[in-house]
Amino acid sequence: MQTAVIDTYLLADGNATTFHLACHNAGLKPVYHSFWECLLLVDIFLSITPNILHQMLQGMVKHVIRWLVHVFGAAAIDTQCKAIPPNHKIMIFTKGITTLSWVSGHEHKKMCSVLLGLIIGLPIPGGRDSSCVVKAMRVLLDFLFLAQYECHTSNTLTCLQDSLSAFHDNKEVFVDLEVREQFNLPSSIAYFIMRLRSDCLAPPIITTRNNLSACTLTLQRMLIAQRTTRMSTHK
Tens digit of each residue's pLDDT (9 = 90 or more) over 177-216: 888 887 765 555 666 666 666 655 554 444 445 555 556 6
Which residues, 6 or more positions from 167, have their beta carbon under 8 angstroms from its beta carbon?
Answer: 136, 139, 140, 143
Task: Classify 155 as helix, strand or coil.
Answer: helix
Among residues 106, 215, 219, 206, the alpha carbon closest in space to that of 151 is found at: 206
Rounded to whole angstroms, what are the CA distances from 66 to 62, 126, 136, 137? 7, 19, 14, 12
pTM: 0.70
Q: Which backbone phi and psi does 128 adopt, to 5 degrees? A: -80, 155
Amino acid letter at 70? H
φ/ψ of residue 202, rounded to 5? -120, 165
List pLDDT tens digits, range 18-77. Answer: 989 988 888 888 888 888 777 777 777 767 677 777 777 877 888 889 999 999 999 999
Write the pLDDT tens digit of every residue in 91-105.
Answer: 888 888 888 888 888
Mean pLDDT of the chain: 79
The backbone torsions φ and ψ at residue 95, rounded to the nearest 5 degrees and listed phi first, read -105, 10
| pLDDT confidence bin for 138, thresholds 50/70/90 | very high
